[in-house]
């Protein structure tokens, strides 16, 4: 795995070191996990944004009456 150097605020680094010591895991593992979580959150947000943009392009659900009719028919089929 390639090494990367970067700067952290002193209080952030102290917090990471304290957690590393209390959980007996390397500082690098804590930082790697934090970056992975950040990227996944960022990707999920971007995916949500694309879905909303797609939905805004057209009225995919139809009008309320048609949606209500379809839902009522689906409920009737369950009985």
Alpha-carbon separation of residue 12 from 8, 16, 27, 54, 65 (angstroms): 6, 6, 12, 39, 55
pLDDT at 62: 66
Query: Would the pLDDT of 79 be above 60?
Result: no
Give tens-digit pLDDT for 25-56. Answer: 999 999 999 998 888 887 888 888 888 887 77
Q: What is the pTM of this model?
A: 0.55
- What is the average pLDDT value for the chain, to the nearest integer? 84
Residue 65 φ/ψ, nearest 5 degrees = -65, -45
Place of tokens 């009456």: 65
Are the C-beta atoms of 30 and 19 separated by less than 8 Å? yes
List the chain domain ranges: 10-78
As a dihedral over the C-alpha atoms of residue 34, residue 40, residue 42, residue 45, rounded to 10 degrees, the angle is -140
pLDDT, residue 73, reads 80
């Amino acid at each position: 795995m390639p090494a990367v150097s970067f700067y952290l605020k002193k209080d952030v680094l102290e917090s990471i070191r304290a957690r590393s010591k209390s959980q007996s895991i390397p500082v690098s593992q804590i930082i790697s996990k934090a970056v992975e979580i950040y990227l996944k959150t960022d990707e999920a947000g971007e995916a949500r944004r694309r879905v909303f943009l797609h939905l805004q392009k057209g009225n995919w659900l139809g009008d309320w009456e048609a949606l209500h009719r379809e839902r009522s028919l689906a409920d009737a089929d369950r009985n």
